[in-house]
Structure 1
Amino acid sequence: MGDEDFPVQARALNYWFGRGEARKQALYDIDLRIARGSLTVLVGPSGSGKTTLLTLLGCLREVQQGLVILLGHELHGATPALATALRRRLGFIFQAHNLHESLTAAQNVMMGVQVLGRVDKARAQAAAAHVLGLLGLSERLDYLPANLSGGQKQRVAIARALVGNPELVLADEPTAALDRDSGANVVELLKRLGQARGTTTIMVTHDNRILDRADRILTLEDGRIVGDEARGG
């Protein structure tokens, strides 16, 4: 496979927090290539660098040292305009759902399309309803977040990340607030997107229930990759 088959690549990636005497290294010599359409899971103890790595790969932090190539573009020294353009091609799922409390479930999801600036309202509504339906929320389209459970809010946030057909999904504990069946449904949806559309997913998780569905498991400890296991998925 050529480089185009690996939408995420990193070589000799290092990262520090703080300055001067308070400076602390968070990542050490990270080398990885993520295959298109795959589901890669990052595991390891809290503080091992998983979320730091995820945010660097998603243009949410600036690369300080090393090479990161995202969707064919190098991130070290990237302009703010390039970083913004690349983020629009990604889907982000965070631990906090970050829903707008004054908007319905469908309206929150529509924002995931409308920020792209190329879809009219009717198409955005149809896309939002479709993805929410896939996540078992067809009966909750018009509900405000205050009237949804924690798990339902998280599924709305997941739908918002997926509705724009992103090339890459970066997920930080996406199933933590979900019951077993809902969590499995989310992972199966991400797997189907990978198979049908080539959507690539990188997921931070402590949820051992979903590891069997991963194509690859990367283990981080103290800012280093200490394990790299290919799975059947």
Structure 2
Amino acid sequence: MPDEDFSIQASALNHWFGTGEARKQALFDIDLRIKRGSFVVMVGASGSGKTTLLTLLGCLREIQDGSVILLGKELRHATPAQNVRLRRRLGFIFQAHNLHESLTARQNVLMGLQVKGHIDKTASDRAAAHVLGLLGLADRLDYLPANLSGGQKQRVAIGRAIVGNPDVVLADEPTAALDWDTAANVVDLLKRLGQARGTSTLMVTHDNRILDRADRVLTLEDGRLVGDEDRRA
């Protein structure tokens, strides 16, 4: 049953890739609950299933076996329309920034509002500029991606993910291209969203510098959740 204190509840979650003799299990009996407003980090070696788990929790793959309750809604057997409605309540940050090269930094961030149905241009422009300012890009609002560094592009992608105040942020290595001061600023911004608005963040990372800022650290190994450490003082 859904528990309103938790934004994500996964139970006995399994996943496979391929068919027939090539079928291989990627996730094994994942049981996971993430509280609203918490900042959770997931670590593990490449190929351990971290990105697969993120995509399942984010309605980007079909639930094959087990249960995932996202924001009170069961994802197994959810319709495409139900998944679309849920995705509008999420913020995604991927390793590749996936910016539109023909759009400015501000316009790329505005896309994070447009997919949620925000149409007031003045308010949307102000929100996009505000978020980019928080990310240290106030002087890059009208720059095209070609004129931004790799780290600046990633910050634009982060801005696009959070501008609509999502209920859940799912992030895959979002700080990999950032220096430590900028990475710490991003993490602190996500934590403030959790405290102010109840946004939950699940971040996959290999950046050990972030672990001390996490509420919890999950460890995934060969598709199994083998560690769950509470880091709150």
How would you bin the TM-score normalised by the shorter chain?
Answer: over 0.9
Residues 153-177 of structure 1, C-alpha deviation per residue, up to 9 Å, x if partnerless?
Answer: 0000000000011000000000000
SS at structure 2 position matched to 1:192: helix
Match of 1:7 in 2: 7
The answer (yes or no) to whether the contact 2:118–2:124 under 8 Å persists in 1 is no
Match of 2:203 in 1: 203
Match of 2:113 in 1: 113
Does residue 130 of structure 2 align to residue 130 of structure 1?
A: yes
Match of 1:41 in 2: 41
Separation in 2, partners of 1:219, 1:141 = 37
Query: Percent identity at matched positions?
Result: 78
1:114 is displaced (CA, Å) by 1.3
1:9-24 superposed matches below 5 A: 9-24=9-24
1:220 is displaced (CA, Å) by 0.5
1:89 is displaced (CA, Å) by 0.3
SS at structure 1 position matched to 2:181: helix
Q: Identify the range of structure 1 (24-33 vs 110-119) with the bigger mean alpha-carbon deviation.
A: 110-119
1:95-110 superposed matches below 5 A: 95-110=95-110
1:120 is displaced (CA, Å) by 1.2
Residues 137-190 of structure 1, C-alpha deviation per residue, up to 9 Å, x if partnerless?
Answer: 000001000000000000000000000110000000000000111100000000
| Gapped regions of structure 2 (runs ≥ 5) | none
- What TM-score results when the alignment is normalised by the length of structure 2? 0.98
The answer (yes or no) to whether the contact 2:95–2:173 under 8 Å persists in 1 is yes
Separation in 1, partners of 2:7, 2:102 = 36
List 4+ stretches of structure 1 deviating above 3 A: none
SS at structure 1 position matched to 2:21: helix
The answer (yes or no) to whether the contact 2:27–2:223 under 8 Å persists in 1 is yes
Separation in 2, partners of 1:145, 1:46 = 28
Separation in 2, partners of 1:82, 1:56 = 14
| Gapped regions of structure 1 (runs ≥ 5) | none
* Paired positions, count: 232
SS at structure 1 position matched to 2:4: helix
Match of 2:224 in 1: 224
Separation in 1, partners of 2:164, 2:109 = 9
1:115 is displaced (CA, Å) by 1.4
SS at structure 2 position matched to 1:4: coil
1:122 is displaced (CA, Å) by 1.1
Q: Identify the range of structure 1 (116-125 vs 192-201) with the bigger mean alpha-carbon deviation.
A: 116-125
Match of 1:154 in 2: 154
1:201 is displaced (CA, Å) by 0.2
- What TM-score results when the alignment is normalised by the length of structure 1? 0.98
Match of 2:78 in 1: 78
1:111 is displaced (CA, Å) by 0.8
Match of 1:171 in 2: 171
SS at structure 2 position matched to 1:78: coil
Please tell me the residue identity of whatever aligns with 2:25.
Answer: Q
Separation in 1, partners of 2:220, 2:16 = 16
